Chain A
Amino acid sequence: MADLNIHIKDLHFKNPVTTASGTFGFGEEFMEFMDLNLLGGIFVKGLTIKNREGNEYPRMAETPSGMLNAVGLQNKGVDYFVNSIYPRIKHLHTEIIPNVNGGTVEDYLMVTEKLNETEGINAIELNISCPNVKEGGMAFGVSCPSAVAVTEAIRKVWKKTLIVKLSPNVTDITEIAKGVEGAGADAVSLVNTFLGMAIDAEKRKPILSTVTGGLSGPAIKPIALRMVWQVYQVVKIPIIGMGGIMNATDAIEFMLAGASAIQVGTANFIDPQVSLRIIDGIEKYLAGHHYKKAGDIVGQLMT
């Protein structure tokens, strides 16, 4: 059997399959459906320093081969996560990775410091790419200087694995990737959702309360794949790839394009057990092609 382990500094994924922030709750929502210990890791719902109620309903619109969401980072704040949620999930034999959000650099720092004091957390994912909040969020991820600034600031206080999640809503994602690598990121994850919108023509109204929202699902896969491949050409740090992964073949494509690990997002809503099927599929692929370890296919696209 091929070796599926992936190491990114302090972070150890027992296989390359993890679940994407905002699509897997805090893992608990899936406990009745699967053994969470089998996952490489769980990127939990985005956290902010204070409780956030998120955006008004409606927050969702189905679109061809995908969906738009405008959840707006609803969460009870980092303290609630650390004190009430994390104690319930920390026994899991999988990496739990908080997704850190903020409106200002200080916000990001405060959330990170709270997590610094929490034992067992080996990595954070810095979300500088949420398209659904008015202040902060994506604003950090769409300009290179601000992406660099927030990454540098967090790097000073967070010594364990630092993953920076990139926005695809930029002219050149490779510039931002290089920037955050230079600022000390240990890995980049991409992509977050694409800014989009949906209209109800009968009512002449937008479907989402926020008018625009983030597009995810298979509709974005070809673009996400292209971005992973482009970023792989320019950075040395590992890439965690995502965007429309529905099955093992999709996941393997991301790995061939340069992703060391992948995140499964929207697919969890349709098949809550899909991640386990993806792990199986990757194992079969590696065995079928006589690879010794998962890392052997990363970036092995023949062009």
Chain B
Amino acid sequence: MKQIRDFRVKAYDRLNEDNYIIELGCDEELPAIKAGNFAEIQVPQTADVFLRRPFSILDADHKNRSLKFYVKAIGKGTRKLGELAEGTKVNLIFPLGNSFNTDHIRHALIAGGGSGIAPFILLAKELKEKKIKTIFLLGARTREDVFLADEFAKYGEVLITTEDGSLGDKGLITQHSIFSKHDFPYDKIFTCGPDPMMKAVARIAAKKGVNCEASLENMMACGFGACLCCVTETLDGNKCVCTAGPVFDTKYLKWQI
């Protein structure tokens, strides 16, 4: 059930200058939250951020009634959200969107690029609970942009690519040797990140005949199906990423791949 609820800033974990994890706490019990769900956050104390901003739920602590979000500061809203005093009231609409499908998987590959790693902690937990073997492939521009690798390591092997080669394999995520090896044991790929990266991953998945789900980050005005601004083209016409997604089977998307 969707909620509109006030939270308070509990803590920040500063990953580097532009990246942080924000923890928000509330008084009431949290509703059920699934891997892939997101929240629409109203950024407080700013006149120049008019609409809410969508963020994947990084983690949910039901016992302590808190949610965590991983945020990459790229503009006014994401910057302001990183500058709030502890205890500041922050209003959320959540949980929104659909979730990943983890049925009938034996071996999962998670490919996250840039800030597209946020939905994967909850997914990693779910996969672990279901005893599904998981490997993580994280792509970034340079070693300073690789985040949460230690966290993911709790749930499976972590492979890294950086465009400048400063950590792990050099190149783009799709150039990682895992894809060129003869042995490709994965029967499901999950991906989130910049569109070109997700499309490239989907292309490989299609070639290998592996099911692939992508979590899209289209621009949203509402986040709950009221404005029809966030659409992506699918085999059934335009669908709202906020309600039919954000997670889509890539075969269902009309991506030119």
Give the B-binding residues of A (Cβ under 8 A).
22-25, 29-30, 32-33, 45, 51, 53-54, 57-67, 69, 71, 74, 217, 266, 268-273
Given contacts A32-B2, A67-B50, A269-B227, contact A60 B238 (CB under 8 A): no
Residue of A nearest to B223 (CB): A269
B50 and A57 contact, CB distance less than 8 A: no
A272 and B4 contact, CB distance less than 8 A: yes
Q: Taking the nearest CB of chain A, how far is it from the CB of B66, in angstroms? A: 22
B228 and A269 contact, CB distance less than 8 A: no
B224 at the interface (CB under 8 A from A): yes
**Chain B residues with Cβ under 8 A from A25's Cβ?**
225-226
A66 and B50 contact, CB distance less than 8 A: yes
- In the complex, besides A60-B229, A67-B50, A71-B228, 18 extra interface pairs with C-beta distance below 8 angstroms are A29-B224, A29-B225, A30-B226, A32-B2, A45-B228, A53-B237, A57-B238, A58-B219, A59-B230, A59-B231, A60-B221, A61-B219, A62-B50, A74-B231, A268-B226, A269-B51, A270-B42, A272-B224
**Chain A residues with Cβ under 8 A from B47's Cβ?**
65
A64 and B225 contact, CB distance less than 8 A: no
B221 and A32 contact, CB distance less than 8 A: no
Interface residue range, chain B: 20 to 34
Given contacts A29-B226, A30-B226, A269-B52, contact A60 B219 (CB under 8 A): yes
Given contacts A60-B227, A66-B50, contact A269 B222 (CB under 8 A): yes
B231 and A268 contact, CB distance less than 8 A: no
Contacting residue for B50 out of A33, A65, A271, CB 8 A: A65
Q: Taking the nearest CB of chain B, how far is it from the CB of A209, in angstroms? A: 11
A23 and B226 contact, CB distance less than 8 A: yes
B93 at the interface (CB under 8 A from A): yes
Q: List 25 A-B contacts (CB under 8 A).
A: A22-B228, A23-B227, A24-B226, A25-B225, A25-B226, A29-B224, A29-B226, A33-B4, A51-B237, A54-B228, A54-B231, A60-B227, A60-B230, A62-B50, A64-B48, A66-B50, A67-B51, A67-B221, A71-B228, A268-B226, A269-B51, A269-B221, A269-B227, A272-B93, A273-B4
**Chain A residues with Cβ under 8 A from B224's Cβ?**
29, 272
Contact with A along B200-237 (1 / 0, CB 8 A): 00000000000000000011111111111111110001
What are the 6 closest A-B residue pairs judged by CB atoms, nearest first?
Answer: A60-B229, A269-B222, A29-B225, A32-B2, A25-B226, A59-B229
In chain B, positions 238-254 with a C-beta closer than 8 Å to chain A are 238
**Chain B residues with Cβ under 8 A from A33's Cβ?**
2, 4
Candidate in A30, A61, A62 with the most chain B CB atoms within 10 angstroms: A62
